[in-house]
């Protein structure tokens, strides 16, 4: 009755009689259950219908006007009367409305908003008439037929996650005359399929978005459809990809910044039937990469844009601005998006340019490729870029990259990352030209590019002469005629093909033999210089080969050996030879110069003999013969004859030769055009190139190069090289050293280090990088050389401020050092012999030394000097030398020794390329001793200094001595003295020299001889520096000092040269030289009497047990001395026994110290000490109070020292008149001889120094 007379009905209502009905007027009708109407009347002129269940009208009369519809649940409206549902406002209220039949049309006058995912309208085949705008950001709008009419002159908007699917539907305006506008904001999921139609609709997208309506499946425009075609991306019935460079930049850059990356947006243009993948790639990953290489779209996400980022890569190569193609295509089981191997669906390409930011450091490399080729179909084609080079003085090519430029899919390049690549020409029906490009990069990271063309031509065949199986049937191009075909009376044939110009002519000859074999020759005549130069390359062929005479008079030969094993031989138009054996794409590829002769055996073994060549400088004649076996292994023998300065034969045979061999199964590029070079790519672990080469003088080089660093081992002696999987092994001949041991040297280079092994007969191996033997394992980037004197030097720079060097001499002794670049300050580590290791790692130097109980287990008493003496009598160490020297105590400056206390003790020294060396044990137990202090157990880590003992040399000639108690053996001369011009020693009153220079005749022509004995502590010797002279330090490991004055008492020559490791005064020198050993100290307590026994000083190795010998020359001493000796001996024995018991008690408590000295040794030592005390001269003895030497104590005439800075002599004499004479002659005097200096002492044999006429020390 009124607008407030609202009616709510909870249960279902059925209106099925003509007399029944509900007229709500302007009141609300709220139905909580279903309404079914087949007769009667239902009407409304206002208010709101609130429905919770379905409304089904199959009859009766329905009149609705000025009424709103609100849903309380998802419902279905069904009517048999078209256009019967007319509402002013529709409030879905988070529910869905379904129209149940084709006549259940719905008209809504006011705007509709669908903004919840649970909201939506499904019209089925009914019409939906919208008199105002529709705004959808969520939910759905579906139709399977009928018409969807949008309000004319109004804009309906789809955005967000709105979903629209219209099948067999007309999309038009509400009156079919005016234009309805649809705006897409973002990427809502909108689709029209199955012959849907459009009219009077204008489609647009908001700026910056890429929304679209999928119109696949027969959708077409009836009239006035705008925006579907005009955009170019949303054409009707379009399947494919939408893609757009959203960053709007086509230029990338290697440098950071806004243009470092670009972004590409991709989505599908139609809803797929199943998932679709978009496959993406970059044509050059070194220049541009993608963050995603596979995009996936589903039927529900087909229209959702996915972005990928394209990044310009910074490659440190100066390669100009490089164009890169970004490619994409689709793949799916949906035929609209499916791809095959031949056809890529919806493929697209974008080209970006990566701007180079690398400055060119040197001259660009030069790309040199052989001349363009014309070859027969189905033959192996060689692409040769090995002549490319870097014109920089020390430059080299570090990278090759071949690429086929074309669309053919039957072209496969093999070894595209090597200087020589190849492919098999395709089977063709007409002449085809193919283009190939080559990129080369030098060690300065500068790139250059070149290209070459290969013309492939169809062929025709010549019948075989012989009847044997496999008789050769030569082939030649169809479009040419052979220049000559001659048939001999016996039926054999000679074929000839000539090509070239007036300045360069190539003649290819083929002799077809009656047995079915053939021999070929490629003769070249070069007239370019005005003088004809003729060379001939020959090939002898067995049965069963394929022979192709190419259009340019080159020759291509192939033979199938077994299954996937193929032999190929190519002779280029200029006569160069390339032979290869390929097993499943792997095998050697050998290049030989023109003039070679190739012989192929029936089993496929190929022998390539090069013409002999003679070096104009050395006069050495070289002959190279190469053999390629069917299994892919190779052997190249280089023989030498004539000339001078040739290296020794590597295998010890009477002939002179070196060999390079390669194992089977390796892809090795071998070039014998100039010496022999083999290179092989390493693709596992650290990627790079292994190379091995033999020079024409027999020297060799092996290396591993990554492009940014290079490790090189070069040998000045002859070695045999073996290329194996991942490594190159070099082996020298055996040679006997100064110690009488015959040794060989073996080097192994791989992608982690270079290892060198010295193996000797009857001695332990010295190995560089092995579990046993002495090891140097240089880090990548090291330079290792083997000199003619068989000394190995490994140099590695871990940083710009430090260098590490290790030398390995011919007797297997290694000396590690570290040098600070700025100050040239050096650290010298213990010499390492057999059983030890030295590792030059990137972050530290590691020295490992096994200790032996036989040489280092003794506990030494505290003494002022060692019982062990130098080879020179009267020279004694300042400290006991028992054990392994490891360095110097930083606090006291005394040497530090480690003595084994158990079997298997192993010592480890580490230095992180700084000024501290740490000492520790990796196995066993050991004791540590500083100077002559008592030993203590070595536990944990102890820090020592490796600062050497040194003496500064400032002049061109320097008189020096060893500044520490050591010796320098002949095997170590090169490592110690190679940086000097020469070293001179005085032997048997004659000068002898050492020089590392090859030019020794400058000395030998003057009558001098080389010295081959050790330089000892206490000896003075001369060092000549190279010009221009710069101050230098002569340095040795700091084993501690020594006393050497005692040697002067036994010198009898007029001129005597000596040295010192500590500062001594001229008075001390005079006193020692004037000591009369015939009248005093007959038992040699002070050591002034010459001792012919003893051993050489330590050379860094462990010291063996020594026998303690008491030398008593006479026993005719007074009873006073004897009595005193007896009393003191008993007293000292008691003290020693007490000390031993004390130590034993201590050891039982701490278990750290074991006394290993037998009691009889304690007594003997005590006796010696007492003997010294009893027989020593009085402390107050001086030059004036000693007995005369042969009747007179004044035998010292003068003492001489060399002033190296001013290159003049300084002289001192204890004799006043002689001193005055020296002063008159212009000599300045001096008071001291400094540490590490040598000096001369002039003695009067007659004992009357004043009788000697003036003279300077002997000169060389």
Report the pLDDT value the prediction gives residue 1166, as an integer from 0 to 100.
Answer: 46
Query: CB-based burial of residue 192 (10 Å sphere; 0-12 exposed, 13-18 middle, 19+ buried)?
Result: buried
* Phi-psi category of residue 773: left, alpha or beta, with phi > 0 → left and psi -120 to 50 → alpha: left
**pLDDT tens-digit map of 1175-1218:** 444 333 333 333 333 334 689 999 999 999 999 999 999 999 99
Q: Please, which residues have CB within 8 angstroms of residue 14's CB and are 6 or more apart in sequence?
A: 36, 37, 38
The three-class DSSP label of residue 579 is strand
Q: What is the largest CA-CA distance in the chain?
A: 170
Strand order in the sheet with 1208-1212: 1055-1059, 1238-1243, 1196-1203, 1208-1212
CA end-to-end span of the chain: 144
Residue 1029 placed within a domain: no
Residue 533 placed within a domain: no
Do 186 and 281 fall within a single domain?
no
Residue 619 placed within a domain: no
Strand order in the sheet with 837-840: 775-776, 837-840, 845-850, 906-911, 917-923, 942-944
Report the pLDDT value the prediction gives residue 358, as an integer from 0 to 100.
Answer: 63
Report the pLDDT value the prediction gives residue 1110, as an integer from 0 to 100.
Answer: 30
The three-class DSSP label of residue 387 is coil
In b/e form, how buried is each residue of 125-149, taking b as 16+ CB within 10 angstroms? bbbbbbbbbbbbbbbbbbbbbbbbb
Do 247 and 183 fall within a single domain?
no
Do 13 and 78 fall within a single domain?
yes
Report the pLDDT value the prediction gives residue 757, as an integer from 0 to 100.
Answer: 77
Judged by average pLDDT, the poorest of 184-188, 817-821, 1121-1125 is 1121-1125
Residue 699 placed within a domain: no
The band of 745, judged by pLDDT with boundaries at 50, 70 and 90, is: confident
Report the pLDDT value the prediction gives residue 1185, as an integer from 0 to 100.
Answer: 33
Average pLDDT over residues 1092-1112: 35
DSSP per-residue codes, 236-292:
TT--SEEEEETT---EEESSSSGGGEEEEEEEESS--SS-EEEEEEES-TTTEEES-
Do 274 and 403 fall within a single domain?
no
Residue 710 placed within a domain: no
**In contact, 768 and 840? CB cutoff 8 Å:** no
Judged by average pLDDT, the poorest of 274-288, 382-396, 460-474, 1071-1085 is 1071-1085
**pLDDT tens-digit map of 831-850:** 888 778 888 888 899 999 99
List, as own/partner pairs, every contact residues 976-983 make where C-beta atoms lie below 8 angstroms and the sequence separation is at least 24, other chains included: 976/1036, 977/1023, 978/787, 978/791, 979/1026, 979/1032, 980/1023, 980/1024, 980/1025, 980/1026, 981/1024, 981/1025, 981/1026, 981/1027, 982/1023, 982/1024, 983/1015, 983/1021, 983/1022, 983/1023, 983/1024
Would you call the peptide bond into 879 cis, given omega within 30 degrees of 0 as the criterion?
A: no
Measure the CA–CA gap between 149 and 141, rounded to whole angstroms. Answer: 12
Do 377 and 344 fall within a single domain?
no
Average pLDDT over residues 16-35: 95
The residue to which tokens 């052989």 are assigned: 370
Report the pLDDT value the prediction gives residue 248, as an integer from 0 to 100.
Answer: 67
Measure the CA–CA gap between 920 and 11, rounded to whole angstroms. Answer: 96
Report the pLDDT value the prediction gives residue 530, as an integer from 0 to 100.
Answer: 85
Do 380 and 299 fall within a single domain?
no
The band of 1035, judged by pLDDT with boundaries at 50, 70 and 90, is: very high
Average pLDDT over residues 1044-1064: 93
CATH number of domain containing 429: 2.60.40.10
Report the pLDDT value the prediction gives residue 1131, as an integer from 0 to 100.
Answer: 54
Q: Which residue has the higher pLDDT, 1099 or 107?
A: 107
Share of the chain above pLDDT 70, in %: 84
Judged by average pLDDT, the poorest of 703-707, 898-902, 1028-1032 is 703-707
Report the pLDDT value the prediction gives residue 1091, as an integer from 0 to 100.
Answer: 38
Measure the CA–CA gap between 468 and 793, rounded to whole angstroms. Answer: 60
Output the CA torsion 454→459→462→466 (10° steps). Answer: 70
* Number of neighbouring beta carbons within 10 Å of residue 581: 26
Report the pLDDT value the prediction gives residue 649, as an integer from 0 to 100.
Answer: 44
Report the pLDDT value the prediction gives residue 1168, as an integer from 0 to 100.
Answer: 47
Q: What's the angle, vertex CA 1027, arms to CA 1024 and CA 1032, rounded to 5?
A: 60
Three-class HEC string of 67-84: CEEEECCCEEEEECCCCC
Domain boundary among 322, 355, 388: 355
Judged by average pLDDT, the poorest of 230-234, 830-834, 994-998 is 230-234
Average pLDDT over residues 393-415: 85
* Number of neighbouring beta carbons within 10 Å of residue 293: 13
The band of 139, judged by pLDDT with boundaries at 50, 70 and 90, is: very high
Report the pLDDT value the prediction gives residue 732, as an integer from 0 to 100.
Answer: 87
Report the pLDDT value the prediction gives residue 392, as an integer from 0 to 100.
Answer: 80
Report the pLDDT value the prediction gives residue 858, as an integer from 0 to 100.
Answer: 29
* Tokens coding 468: 């044997």
The band of 1114, judged by pLDDT with boundaries at 50, 70 and 90, is: very low
Report the pLDDT value the prediction gives residue 319, as an integer from 0 to 100.
Answer: 67
Report the pLDDT value the prediction gives residue 502, as an integer from 0 to 100.
Answer: 86
Measure the CA–CA gap between 856 and 287, rounded to whole angstroms. Answer: 62
Is the model's pLDDT at 795 over the cut of 80?
yes
The pLDDT mean for the chain works out to 83
Report the pLDDT value the prediction gives residue 644, as an integer from 0 to 100.
Answer: 55
Residue 1137 placed within a domain: yes
Average pLDDT over residues 1232-1256: 93
Q: Please, which residues have CB within 8 angstroms of residue 497's CB and are 6 or more apart in sequence?
A: 476, 480, 482, 483, 507, 508, 549, 553
Measure the CA–CA gap between 1176 and 1168, rounded to whole angstroms. Answer: 12
State the DSSP code for 30. Answer: E
Measure the CA–CA gap between 882 and 674, rounded to whole angstroms. Answer: 55
Report the pLDDT value the prediction gives residue 1135, as an integer from 0 to 100.
Answer: 54
* Number of neighbouring beta carbons within 10 Å of residue 323: 13
Do 212 and 268 fall within a single domain?
no
Do 220 and 247 fall within a single domain?
no
Is the model's pLDDT at 1162 over the cut of 60?
no
Beta bridge partners of 949: 1036
Residue 943 placed within a domain: no
Report the pLDDT value the prediction gives residue 1098, as an integer from 0 to 100.
Answer: 42
Is the model's pLDDT at 1138 over the cut of 70?
no
Report the pLDDT value the prediction gives residue 246, as an integer from 0 to 100.
Answer: 76
Domain coverage including residue 380 = 373-456
Find, among 151, 135, 148, the residue nearest to 197 by Cα.
148
Q: Which residue has the higher pLDDT, 777 or 883?
A: 883
Is the model's pLDDT at 1123 over the cut of 70?
no
Average pLDDT over residues 959-983: 92
Average pLDDT over residues 963-992: 92
Measure the CA–CA gap between 991 and 974, rounded to whole angstroms. Answer: 19
The residue to which tokens 């996650």 are assigned: 161
Query: CB-based burial of residue 954 (10 Å sphere; 0-12 exposed, 13-18 middle, 19+ buried)?
Result: middle
Q: Which residue has the higher pLDDT, 618 or 828?
A: 828
Residue 1156 placed within a domain: yes
Do 219 and 73 fall within a single domain?
yes
φ, ψ for residue 694, nearest 5 deg: -115, 130
Judged by average pLDDT, the poorest of 98-112, 297-311, 339-353 is 339-353
Is the model's pLDDT at 231 over the cut of 50?
no
Three-class HEC string of 1114-1143: CCCCCHHHHHHHHHHHHHHHHHHHHHHHHH
Measure the CA–CA gap between 768 and 785, rounded to whole angstroms. Answer: 13
Measure the CA–CA gap between 360 and 470, rounded to whole angstroms. Answer: 56
**In contact, 894 and 928? CB cutoff 8 Å:** no
Report the pLDDT value the prediction gives residue 546, as an integer from 0 to 100.
Answer: 93
Do 76 and 178 fall within a single domain?
yes
Measure the CA–CA gap between 831 and 815, rounded to whole angstroms. Answer: 5
pTM of the prediction?
0.59
Domain boundary among 427, 456, 485: 456
Angle between helices 1159-1175 and 1119-1150 (to 10 degrees): 140
Beta bridge partners of 380: 424
Measure the CA–CA gap between 901 and 908, rounded to whole angstroms. Answer: 15
**pLDDT tens-digit map of 922-933:** 999 999 999 999
Report the pLDDT value the prediction gives residue 781, as an integer from 0 to 100.
Answer: 67
Report the pLDDT value the prediction gives residue 50, as an integer from 0 to 100.
Answer: 96
Domain boundary among 355, 389, 408: 355
φ, ψ for residue 1113, nearest 5 deg: -80, -30
Count of domains for the chain: 4
Do 20 and 162 fall within a single domain?
yes
Do 177 and 304 fall within a single domain?
no
**pLDDT tens-digit map of 1212-1229:** 999 999 999 999 999 999
- The number of residues in the chain equals 1260
Share of the chain above pLDDT 90, in %: 50
Report the pLDDT value the prediction gives residue 655, as an integer from 0 to 100.
Answer: 47
Average pLDDT over residues 542-549: 94
CA-to-CA separations, 1082 to 527, 729, 1110, in angstroms, rounded = 92, 61, 13
């Amino acid at each position: 009755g009124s607008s407030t007379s609202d009616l709510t009905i909870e249960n279902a209502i059925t209106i099925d009689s003509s007399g029944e009905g509900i007229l709500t007027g302007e009141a609300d009708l709220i139905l909580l259950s279903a309404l079914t109407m087949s007769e009667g009347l239902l009407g409304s002129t206002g208010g709101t219908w609130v429905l919770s269940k379905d409304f089904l009208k199959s009859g009766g009369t329905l009149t609705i006007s000025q009424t709103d519809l609100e849903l309380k649940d998802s419902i279905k409206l069904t009517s048999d009367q078209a256009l019967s549902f007319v509402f002013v406002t529709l409030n879905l209220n988070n529910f869905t409305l379904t129209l149940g039949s084709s006549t259940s049309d719905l008209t809504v006058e006011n705007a509709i908003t669908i903004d919840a995912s649970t909201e939506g309208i499904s019209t089925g085949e009914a019409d939906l008439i919208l008199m105002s705008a529709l705004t959808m950001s969520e939910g759905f709008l579906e139709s399977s037929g009928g018409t969807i009419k949008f309000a004319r002159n109004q804009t309906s908007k789809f955005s967000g996650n709105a979903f629209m699917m219209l099948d067999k539907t007309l999309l038009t305006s509400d009156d079919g005359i005016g234009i309805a506008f649809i705006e897409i904001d973002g990427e809502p999921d909108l689709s029209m399929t199955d012959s849907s139609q459009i009219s009077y609709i204008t489609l647009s997208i908001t700026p910056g978005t890429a929304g679209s309506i999928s119109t696949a499946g027969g959708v077409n425009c009836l009239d006035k459809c705008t925006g579907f075609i005009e955009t170019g991306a949303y054409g009707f019935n379009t399947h494919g990809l939408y893609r757009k460079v959203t960053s709007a930049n086509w230029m990338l850059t290697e440098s950071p910044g806004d243009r470092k990356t670009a972004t590409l947006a991709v989505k599908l243009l139609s809803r797929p039937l199943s998932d679709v993948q978009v496959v993406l790639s970059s044509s050059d990953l070194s220049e541009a990469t993608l963050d995603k290489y596979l995009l996936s779209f589903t039927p529900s996400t087909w229209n959702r844009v996915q972005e990928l980022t394209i990044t310009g890569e910074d490659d440190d190569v100066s390669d100009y601005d490089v164009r890169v193609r970004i490619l994409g295509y689709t793949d799916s089981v949906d035929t609209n998006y499916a791809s095959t191997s031949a056809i890529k669906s919806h493929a697209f390409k974008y080209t970006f340019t990566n701007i180079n930011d690398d400055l060119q450091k040197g001259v660009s490399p030069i790309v040199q490729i052989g001349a363009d080729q014309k070859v027969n179909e189905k033959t192996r084609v060689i692409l040769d870029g090995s002549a490319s080079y870097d014109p920089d003085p020390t430059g080299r090519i570090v990278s090759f990259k071949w690429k086929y430029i074309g669309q053919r899919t039957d072209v496969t390049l093999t070894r595209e990352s090597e200087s020589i690549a190849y492919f098999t020409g395709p089977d063709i029906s007409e002449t085809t030209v193919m283009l190939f490009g080559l990129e080369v990069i030098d060690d300065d990271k500068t790139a250059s590019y070149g290209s070459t063309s290969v013309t492939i031509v169809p062929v025709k065949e010549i019948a075989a002469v012989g009847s044997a199986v496999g008789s050769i049937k030569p082939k030649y191009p169809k479009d040419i005629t052979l220049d000559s075909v001659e048939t001999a009376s016996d039926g054999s044939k000679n074929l000839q093909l000539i090509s070239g110009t007036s300045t360069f002519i190539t003649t290819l000859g083929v002799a077809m033999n009656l047995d079915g074999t053939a021999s070929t020759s490629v003769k070249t005549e070069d007239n370019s210089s005005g003088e004809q130069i003729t060379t001939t390359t020959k090939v002898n062929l067995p049965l069963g080969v394929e022979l192709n005479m190419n259009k340019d008079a080159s020759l291509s030969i192939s033979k199938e050996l077994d299954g996937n094993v193929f032999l190929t031989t190519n002779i280029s138009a200029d006569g160069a030879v390339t032979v290869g054996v390929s097993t499943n794409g792997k095998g050697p590829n050998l290049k030989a110069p023109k003039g070679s002769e190739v012989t192929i055996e029936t089993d496929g073994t190929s022998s390539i003999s090069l013409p002999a060549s003679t070096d104009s400088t050395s006069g050495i004649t070289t002959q190279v013969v190469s053999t390629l076996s069917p299994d892919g292994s190779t052997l190249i023998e280089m023989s030498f004859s004539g000339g001078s300065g040739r290296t020794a034969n590597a295998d010890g045979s009477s002939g002179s030769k070196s060999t390079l061999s390669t194992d089977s199964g390796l892809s090795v590029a071998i070039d014998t055009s100039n010496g022999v070079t083999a290179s092989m790519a390493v693709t596992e672990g650290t990627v790079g190139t292994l190379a091995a080469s033999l020079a024409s003088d027999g020297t060799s080089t092996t290396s591993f190069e990554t492009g940014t660093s290079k490790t090189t081992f070069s040998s000045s002696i002859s070695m045999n090289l073996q290329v194996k999987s991942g490594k190159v092994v070099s082996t020298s001949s055996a040679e006997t050293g100064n110690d009488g041991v015959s040794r060989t040297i073996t080097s192994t280079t791989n992608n982690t280090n270079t290892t060198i092994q010295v193996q000797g007969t009857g001695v332990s191996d010295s190995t560089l990088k092995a579990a046993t033997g002495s090891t140097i394992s240089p880090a990548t980037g090291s330079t290792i050389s083997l000199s003619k004197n068989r000394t190995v030097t490994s140099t590695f720079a871990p940083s710009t401020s430090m260098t590490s060097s290790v030398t390995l001499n011919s007797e297997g002794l290694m000396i590690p050092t570290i040098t600070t670049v700025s100050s040239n300050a050096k650290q010298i580590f213990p010499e390492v012999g057999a059983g030890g290791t030295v590792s030059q790692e990137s972050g530290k130097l590691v020295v490992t030394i096994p200790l032996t109980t036989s040489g280092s287990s003794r506990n030494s008493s505290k003494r002022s000097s060692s019982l062990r003496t130098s080879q020179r009598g009267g020279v004694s160490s300042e400290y006991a030398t028992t054990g392994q020297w490891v360095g110097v105590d930083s606090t006291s400056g005394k040497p530090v020794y480690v003595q084994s206390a158990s079997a298997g003790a192993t010592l480890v020294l580490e230095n992180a390329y700084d000024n501290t060396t740490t000492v520790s044990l990796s196995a066993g137990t050991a004791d540590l001793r500083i100077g002559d202090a008592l030993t203590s157990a070595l536990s944990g880590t102890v820090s020592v200094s490796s600062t050497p003992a040194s003496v500064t040399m400032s002049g061109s000639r320097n008189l020096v001595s060893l500044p520490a108690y050591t010796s320098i053996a002949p095997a170590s001369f090169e490592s110690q003295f190679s940086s000097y011009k020469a070293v001179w020693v005085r032997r048997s009153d004659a000068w002898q020299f050492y020089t590392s220079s090859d030019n020794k005749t400058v000395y030998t022509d003057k009558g001098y001889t080389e010295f081959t004995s050790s330089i000892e502590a206490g000896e003075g010797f001369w060092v000549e520096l190279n010009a221009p002279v710069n101050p230098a330090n002569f340095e040795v490991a700091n084993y501690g000092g020594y006393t050497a004055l005692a040697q002067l008492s036994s010198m009898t020559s007029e001129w005597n040269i000596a040295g010192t490791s500590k500062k001594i005064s001229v008075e001390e020198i005079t006193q020692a030289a004037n000591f009369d050993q015939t009248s005093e100290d007959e038992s040699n307590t002070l050591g002034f009497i010459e001792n012919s026994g003893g051993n050489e000083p330590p050379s860094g190795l462990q010291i063996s047990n020594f026998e303690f010998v008491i030398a008593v020359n006479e026993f005719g001493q007074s009873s006073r001395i004897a009595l005193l000796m007896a009393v003191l001996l008993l007293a000292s024995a008691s003290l020693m026994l007490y000390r031993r018991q004390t130590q034993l008690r201590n050891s039982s408590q701490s278990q750290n110290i074991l006394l290993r000295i037998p009691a009889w040794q304690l007594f003997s030592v005590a006796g010696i000490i007492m003997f010294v005390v009893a027989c020593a001269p009085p402390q107050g003895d001086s030059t004036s109070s000693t007995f005369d030497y042969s009747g007179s104590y004044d035998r010292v005439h003068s003492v001489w020292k060399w002033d190296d800075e001013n290159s003049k002599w300084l002289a001192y004499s204890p004799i006043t008149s002689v001193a005055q004479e020296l002063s008159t002659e212009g000599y300045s005097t001096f008071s001291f001889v400094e540490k590490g200096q040598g000096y001369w002492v002039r003695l009067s044999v007659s004992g009357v120094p004043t009788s000697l006429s003036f003279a300077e020390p002997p000169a060389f």
